[in-house]
Amino acid sequence: MVWLIERRINMKFISWSINGLKSAINHGFVEDFKRQDADFFCLQRTRLDKGEEPIQIPDYYQYWNYAEKKGYSGTAIFTKYKPENVIYGMNNSIFDKEGRLITLEYPNFYLIDVYVPVSGEKLQHLDYRLDWDRVFLDYVTNLQSSKPVIIGGDMSVAYQPIDLAEPTEDHHKAGFTKQERADFGKLLNAGLTDTFRYLHPNLHGAYTWWSYRYDARERNVGWRLDYFLVSDVWKERIEEAKILSDVKGSSHCPIELVANVEV
């Protein structure tokens, strides 16, 4: 009989919603990338045209998804580990036009990089967003039926009042509507753990996005919109979950997950 020996190591995952990769490069992105030395680096809002790959970083495999609309949305993953399979989108003709999702399949898990649609300043895109939520929930549930998932990305929602600085003032704004929060709750209830809140359940003032207006970042008047979620069966493998608020270059800052996974 041949026994397969499972070997786990701590791996670092980074997710960052950038305001255009070309702009981020001009603000020191490559140096920030190298400083993190992550095993997996997920990007959202790359805003590149199809076929553009403005950086090549040695020792990383690169995977890009593009929106059909010029200079819009887009995601990318850099990884030191070649996946078994790469899935672009959710097999949905409406949402897959926007380049919002990449999934890498490994023997023991899926890694999903996602940029969830924003509902709009006047909630004019709320219905579209809620339709996305339903399709994404079905997609994740289907993947979880075969192996655990790790989701990293800009989820465009502050789930609880603790996740934004001014919940009373902002309770009707995009990203904190009852509908968006309820849909995020459905995602968690489908068997996912919010890694940051798992380790820091009562930490206030922990945000990942700040408006460019009114010196919001300097005053730390922000929202926690970026998440790493993992399947509940893997929550005991969470070693660290951090918000890297000192890293500039976007209205969002990077987030970090260190998890004990098989290779």
CA 166 to the chain's CA centroid: 23
Residues 111, 242, 42, 62, CA torsion sign: negative
Comparing CA positions, the residue from 220, 218, 225, 232 lying closest to residue 255 is: 225
| DSSP result, 153-176 | EE-----SGGGBS-TTTTTTSTTS
Q: Which of the residues are catalytic? A: 115, 154
Comparing CA positions, the residue from 75, 68, 165, 181 lying closest to residue 133 is: 181
List C-alpha distances in Å: 140 to 29, 57, 119, 172, 176.
30, 30, 21, 27, 22
Comparing CA positions, the residue from 77, 96, 106 lying closest to residue 139 is: 96
